[in-house]
């Protein structure tokens, strides 16, 4: 067994496992899924195609893609017994908590529960990816005081999600923009939530427990929650002229500037560059170009002052706002997409499993003499 006593906070620089699913080339600013560049997949592929790629390791044929699309569409519906529990949750509970609860509850309606054969795992992954948007849309509609819109099994994934959210079909340019964002967020190597999923299932627990743990990890503002934090942060900025002073004060207070920096990328996050193009188009469409220019000025200054590049979360907010997605649902939407990656990683982990059990650098006292309770 390889052994190292060197302590790396946050496991930075530590190789914690092997994967064939995706890889981040941090110095080059390149992300690949199963060998394919994310730029090509975002330009030409679809989210359903990416699911097939992540789960099966290769691009599907037309017939295979049709079959997978059909399998996903047949699993969009979430049983009433799960939806009724979610409806009883207080509205003060953040949407990510509702989603975490809903996804956890899906295990109770899994007809193959306990079967961890390869076929059952893949079907479970399909179920999870298919049902997550229904849970998210149901919660968004409830909070908006509007009736639940059941999924339409005749619609493709992104189209159906926007339909459930808004209660009517959205323009094809919106569907395409969402599909692209879903492709970009589907996987990202051993990020915190994916690692949480792999650690959980490495105990031979189950896929539902793994993705529930992953949702909990994604919620935090240092990970998936950053996209919402960016939007709240930008609310303080009204014109480009505000940016310089605002940023200098924020940095002087040693506060984070959300949407910048990354553990692995040392150059531009390629997902940010792709979303930047979509954001620019959408900002122009809604006459919100000032917001876009504010972000661009921030980008310029952060590079100069801190040598930090934008990450994927800097631009996704503008795109999601244009699609009519409420801010508190940005992170749940991230989960909708990343469910594809989490489930692929769970399947891969179980295929060649070793329980995660690292060492810790113990920094507490030792050899203390026990003092009986009434002598303390």
Positions touching ligand COA (CB under 6 A) are 222, 226, 256-263, 306, 308, 311-313
Nearer to ligand COA, 193 or 202 (CB): 193
Shortest reach from residue 31's CB to ligand COA, in Å: 12
Which of residues 124 and 271 has its CB atom nearest to ligand COA in the complex?
A: 271
What count of other Cβ atoms lies within 10 Å of the Cβ of residue 373?
6
Give the integer Cα–Cα distance in Å for 208 and 110.
Answer: 10
Q: Pick the catalytic residue: 262, 269, 309, 345?
A: 262
CB of 222 to ligand COA, least distance (A): 4
Q: In terms of C-beta density within 10 A (0-12 exposed, 13-18 middle, 19 or more buried), how is residue 173 classed?
A: middle
Q: Which is nearer to ligand COA, 142 or 185 (CB)?
A: 185
Q: Which is nearer to ligand COA, 258 or 292 (CB)?
A: 258
Give just the sign of the alpha carbon dihedral 273, 14, 198, 52.
positive
| Catalytic-labelled residue, pool 139, 187, 206, 313 | 313
Active site residue 235: no
Q: Between 72 and 294, whose beta carbon lies closer to ligand COA?
A: 294
180: closest CA among 91, 275, 103?
A: 275
Give the residue with the Cβ less far from ligand COA, 94 or 167. 94
Q: Which residue is nearest to ligand COA (CB)?
A: 261
Cβ neighbours, 10 Å, residue 75: 18
Give the span between the Cα atoms of 210 and 353, in whole angstroms. 14
Provide, rounded to whole angstroms, the least separation between the CB of residue 255 and ligand COA.
Answer: 7
**Region of residue 162 (phi > 0: left; psi between -120 and 50: alpha; otherwise: beta):** alpha
If the CB atoms of residues 261 and 332 are measured against ligand COA, the closer one turns out to be 261
Q: How far is the CB of 192 from ligand COA (least distance, A)?
A: 9
- Residue 261 CB, nearest approach to ligand COA (Å): 2
Nearest distance, CB of residue 163 and ligand COA, angstroms:
29
Q: Is 262 a catalytic residue?
A: yes
- Rounded least distance, CB 23 to ligand COA, Å: 16
Residues tagged active-site: 262, 313
């Amino acid at each position: 067994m390889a052994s190292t006593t060197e302590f790396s906070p946050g496991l930075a620089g530590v190789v914690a496992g092997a994967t064939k699913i995706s890889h981040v080339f941090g110095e080059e600013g390149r992300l690949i899924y199963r060998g394919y560049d994310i730029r090509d997949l975002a330009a030409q592929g679809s989210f359903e195609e990416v699911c097939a790629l992540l789960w099966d390791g290769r691009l599907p044929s037309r017939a295979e893609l049709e079959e997978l699309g059909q399998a996903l569409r047949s699993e969009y519906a979430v049983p009433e017994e799960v939806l009724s529990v979610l409806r009883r949750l207080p509205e003060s509970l953040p949407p990510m908590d509702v989603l975490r609860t809903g996804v956890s509850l899906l295990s109770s309606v899994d007809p193959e529960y306990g079967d961890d054969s390869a076929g059952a795992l893949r079907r479970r992954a399909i179920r999870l990816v298919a049902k997550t948007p229904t849970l998210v849309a149901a919660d968004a509609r409830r909070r908006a005081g509007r009736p639940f819109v059941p999924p339409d099994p005749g619609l493709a994934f992104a189209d159906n999600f926007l339909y459930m959210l808004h209660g009517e079909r959205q323009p094809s340019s919106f569907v395409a923009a969402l599909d692209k964002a879903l492709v970009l967020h589907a996987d990202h190597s051993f990020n915190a939530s994916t690692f949480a999923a792999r650690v959980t299932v490495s105990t031979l627990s189950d896929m539902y427990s793994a993705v529930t743990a992953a949702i909990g990890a994604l919620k935090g503002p240092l990970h998936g929650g950053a996209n919402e934090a960016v939007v709240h942060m930008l609310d303080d900025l009204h014109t480009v002229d505000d940016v310089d002073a605002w940023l200098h004060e924020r940095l002087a207070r040693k506060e984070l500037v959300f949407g910048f920096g990354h553990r692995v990328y040392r150059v531009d996050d390629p997902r940010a560059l792709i979303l930047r193009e979509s954001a620019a188009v959408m900002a122009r469409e809604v006459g919100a170009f000032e917001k876009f220019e504010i972000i661009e000025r921030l980008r310029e200054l952060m590079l100069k002052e801190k040598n930090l590049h934008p990450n994927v979360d800097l631009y996704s907010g503008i795109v999601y706002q244009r699609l009519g997605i409420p801010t508190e649902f940005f992170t749940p939407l991230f989960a909708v997409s990343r469910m594809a990656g989490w489930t692929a990683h769970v399947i891969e982990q179980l295929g060649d499993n070793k329980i995660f059990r690292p060492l810790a650098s113990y920094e507490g006292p030792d050899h203390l003499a026990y003092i009986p309770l009434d002598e303390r």
